[in-house]
Amino acid sequence: QVQLVESGGGLVQAGGSLRLSCAASGSILSIDAMAWYRQAPGKQRERVALITSTDITNYADSAKGRFTISRDNAKNTVYLQMNSLKPEDTAVYYCFANIRPIGIGAYYYDYWGQGTQVTVSS
């Protein structure tokens, strides 16, 4: 069984910083892409940042220049450093990973974390 556990959310003032972490655990053979999504009340879930297994990154326009995604493959962990936070960044942030579990053939599956709340006050 594979699970993703996020940490690092919280309340911060506008202009502040937070660092989110997401650790994948369980019967993992390999991990391909990892990403962070967010969903604000009344809005659709949107991808904030993605990092491939070869450390190629992609950011939403709203995150460029302020957020940095990184990963530690030895720890099966992905991070999101968020700087210059704005009230519009307030949302539940979800970790995503495309994982090949042990013993289930040559397939990758999508896994999601439970979400962590980020609230930015003005």
Q: 95 to each of 15, 33, 83, 121, how far by Cα in Å?
A: 23, 11, 18, 23
The pLDDT assigned to 105 comes to 84
Question: Contact, 16 vs 120, CB < 8 A?
Answer: yes
pLDDT of residue 104: 84
pLDDT mean for each 10 residues of the chain (122 residues): 96 98 97 98 97 97 98 98 98 98 92 98 96
Q: What is the pLDDT of residue 51?
A: 98
Q: In the prediction, which pLDDT does 77 show? A: 98
